[in-house]
Chains A and B, each alone.
Chain A
Amino acid sequence: MPAHDVLIIGAGLAGQRAALAAADAGASVAILSKVHPVRSHSVAAAGGINAALNPGDSWESHAYDTVKGSDYLGDQDAIEIMCREAPDEILHLEHIGVTFHRSDTGHLGTRAFGGASAARTYYVADITGQAILHVLYEQLMKHHETVDRYEEWFTTTLLQDDDGHCIGAVARNIRDGRLEVFDAKSVILASGGAGQVFKPTTNALICTGDGIAQAYRIGAPLMDMEMIQYHPTTLAENGFLITEGARGEGAHLYNALGERFMEKYAPNKLELASRDVVSRAEQTEINEGRGFPDGTIALDITRVPRKRTLEALREIVNIGRDFAGVDITREPIHIRPGMHYIMGGVRTDVDGQTPIPGLYAAGEVACVSVHGGNRLGANSLLDTLIFGRRSGEHAAHRARGVAMPKTSSRRLADVAAEIDEIIRRENTGGRRISEIKDELGETMNRYVAVYRDAEGLARAHEIVRRLKAEAPTAAIDDKGTVFNQDVLGAIELGYMLDVAEAIVVAAQERKESRGAQFRTDFPERNDAEWLHHITISRNGDGVPEKGTAPVRFTQWEPQERTY
């Protein structure tokens, strides 16, 4: 039975950064992931990572842009920490080997990104996430003596002692079906986002909100769950992302009439306004009949010099060619807003601590909240690294004063019984897991998207409740132990339904329009009544409980938001 000072669940950027930081602080560390670490979804991050590192730039400017981008819902103390620590984090990455692209003078080069008042996005072509993730994994290989890696292990349950402290987790070895208790003095959740709750999404198949639901199930409150980011440029058919880097390099948006419509909506920043603003502008054009017949808008990258496109946007040249049949260096590509990111998550403080002692969260699974109502492009990678590191350090220190906990084997038997129940279910002609998942995704994408209203949200909630009742009866085909992906799919569906309900309930609760939440029935931002976070806590099997948390201000008063 493995026992470690710090157990990290998830090996994307947040998890790997946390593992390296905790090991560096002297802790014994285990890092566990349901896919091989380099397959984590961080690998897909294309555009880059923000930091005010140039002499002419300042962390205050970065922080202000982030606060404004968040529509004043971000917690300013956390945002200050993130932006202040960003330059050192970039330099650290550079030193351990990330191949950041350079300027003509050989210094780190930057590109422009949306919602930012300076070009402060550092990048490796358009494989930034991949480059950083693979370099962190190099470091994990280097430090294999201090960090134990459990690759292809699936966490099902977080464990608590009688006082409510989090003391480990139960996980299943995907390769042979073996269940194991992982004892730990501190646990860091770094299990990423929940994009699969929507269909289509830019997110990978593994982004099923596991950690959000696992924390929620042991009583951790979720926060800002209504804030779902729709990215302005995704492919219509399959939801694949065209990075914001394209607009950063100079690409324009046109409607079917050939108008550069962003001139109307954001006369100063145009295509590089905040994502919520650009996505809404596109959706308005489409809804008012100025989109293309397939419900899309044109993104014109041909304006960017070809050599530059091939050097800096190569991945989307490939995506255009392979998945849309378009040569983006020669013709515009059709796009539309698509689900991309969840600003909300498990509520934490600036050291990653959740209200449950011993449980930390970092990365997309967490809500610090640095993104508030809307995340700026290239701020998420930063979020994962800064708060991953801070969680790792804090958890390692905390572990020093704590004895190694011990979980009774009864808990293991409980989890084993739950999994056996799924495997043994008889097929009684009910719907398949995949059908339930599809209905969930389509429902969310229909009613909980760029524009929302009370009626649609109520409908969505009704459907989610129905699916929640149906899911526990769906049978699976695979009865084996080796790589039983079927049973994992059934467990993930349960997580997704919990996350979906939290999203819908929070969206119903916020009766105003702020950031990514636009209510057509409450189209104005209403600071007097709604300038606070909404929290969601589990309430047995009933409708989740709603609460509030104050927004923490330091130096920026809410203002009207124009770009």
Chain B
Amino acid sequence: MAEYTLKLRRYNPESGEAPFWEEFQIELEPHRSVLEGILKVKAEIDGSVGIRCSCRAAICGSCGVRINGRAGLACHTHLGHAADSGVHADGRTITVEPMGNMPILKDLIVDMDAVHWKKIQRVTPWLINKEPVPEREYIVPHENMVDVTQTMACIQCGACVSDCLSMEVDPLFVGPAASARAYRFVGDPRDAEQYERVKDLAEDRHGIYDCTHCFNCIEACPKGVAPMSQIMRLRRVAGADHGIVDRNNGHRHEQAFVTLVKEGGLLHEAELLPRSYGGDSWFGKFHPAAGQELLSSLPVITTALLRGKVTPKGVLAPHKLPKDALAAVQAITEKVERRRPRNELNLYITGYDDSPGAGDGDVHPLAADGDAMTSAPGPNPHRPTSASESESA
């Protein structure tokens, strides 16, 4: 048994008072969950504390809150861990407040309909069947079903929505959870409208290119859905498979990076912009769209020149690499490109083999701690790396 101070954010819309903090002292074993702590408060001290909860086991998605300032499930966060992290980190105090980016209804309860579910509705969240519907089941590869299971695993808790940076700036952003939901259909071979779905999300100003890669949603998600990774996959399907030009030109920009590095071994900044907007070759700069973009970027370029960040010589001549180094870079590019297209690892496809004595070394990072109980509170130094590794895997 250990003693904890639960510092809860309270708000009663009927009282006319502003939200305030209230502290409760409880005793529980450190491996019990923050939810159990709050339920103890409700049972023994104050039954009016409001929190949604049901399963107690991180499966119903009810108990999304912010613990020590970071979104997660109350039932999926150990008291001991929460007390050792966050602002207080005194082994005793844990702050719990409602999730962000959504209106608060009472205490720890937010209005998910107004934000989360509205965005889910936005992505046409049902299967649009490929015709004809077969008499028996659709015959589809096992791998595809396992693949979309990662997004099926989303429990609609809203933790990612709570901590999404882009949504804070642009409340209309479709957001992490709804994007993950969209991939569940885009990746489903039984769906007839893959093209329409990604086109819609790519061209919407508040669509998939509105994400800033802040990783918050990956960190917040208790189920390893990795919404940001799903957004990246949606972008690749849109850009690479369907050649959809998005408003920010993000996909072509990415392509231009790759081609430039492949050709010269290093980035050639002056070529980057014209290629991204004109076309991914030396001729790109003659495309009218490239000219337009160059014009609109002139102020930025001028400042860069004035500050000496860019030199006229650098603009004209690319950086040079020694021959063998260039060959090495090109060999890497080739190897990557020869791989099966987007053979991405995900939660369920872990890349494990069953070789006896397989040590921890072979554990795929996401599988190892991608959704560990440590998710909600406190920094976890492994997480961003693990997520980015999975992204490039």
Contacts and interface: CB of A to CB of B under 8 A. Distances in A.
Contacts of A65: none
Contacts of A36: 62, 112
B61 A483 contact: no
A130 to B, nearest CB: 7
Interface in B130-186: 133, 136-142, 145-146, 148-149, 152-153, 155-156, 184
Nearest to A34: B54
A99 interface: yes
A138 B60 contact: no
B12 A44 contact: no
Given A101-B142, A124-B152, A476-B47, A325 B31 contact: yes
A138 B191 CA distance: 14
B347 A489 contact: no
Contacts of A94: 137-138
Nearest to B13: A482
A318 B371 contact: yes
B61, B125, B133 interface centre (most CB from chain A within 10 Å): B125
A35 B52 contact: yes
B253 interface: no
B305 to A, nearest CB: 53
Residues of B in contact with A, size category: 35 or more
Contacts of B188: 97, 99
B136 A489 contact: no
A463 interface: no
A242 to B, nearest CB: 11
Contacts of B62: 35-36, 39
A469 interface: no
Interface in A87-103: 91, 94-97, 99-103
B60 A141 contact: no
A107 B348 contact: no
A103 B141 CA distance: 8
Given A124-B152, A130-B155, A477-B47, A322 B373 contact: yes
A99 B43 contact: no
Interface string B39-62: 000111011101011111111111
Contact of A311 (B139, B350, B373): B350
A138 B145 contact: no
A323 interface: yes
A108 B137 contact: yes
A281 interface: no
Given A44-B60, A106-B140, A141-B121, A99 B152 contact: yes
A44 B58 CA distance: 9
A81 interface: no
Contacts of A104: 142
A135 B56 CA distance: 22
Given A101-B142, A106-B139, A206 B126 contact: no
A141 B178 CA distance: 14
A383 to B, nearest CB: 20
Given A94-B138, A318-B371, A485 B50 contact: yes
B55 A95 contact: no
Nearest to B190: A97
B367 to A, nearest CB: 6
A104 B143 CA distance: 9
A118 interface: no
Contacts of B57: 44, 240, 319, 323
Contacts of A99: 145, 148-149, 152, 184, 188
Given A35-B62, A204-B60, A483-B105, A310 B350 contact: yes
Nearest to B184: A99
B251 to A, nearest CB: 27
Contacts of B31: 325
A26 interface: no
Contacts of B126: 96-97, 138-139, 141-142
B353 interface: yes
Given A44-B55, A175-B105, A130 B152 contact: yes
Contact of B353 (A40, A134, A307): A307
Contacts of A205: 53-56
Contacts of A112: none
B54 A206 contact: yes
A38 B156 contact: yes
A479 B156 CA distance: 30
Given A39-B62, A311-B350, A102 B145 contact: yes
B47 A305 contact: no
Q: Which 4 A-B pairs have the closest CB atoms?
A: A97-B127, A434-B43, A478-B48, A477-B47
12 contacts: A35-B62, A39-B62, A95-B138, A103-B142, A124-B152, A175-B105, A311-B349, A432-B44, A477-B46, A482-B106, A483-B105, A484-B48
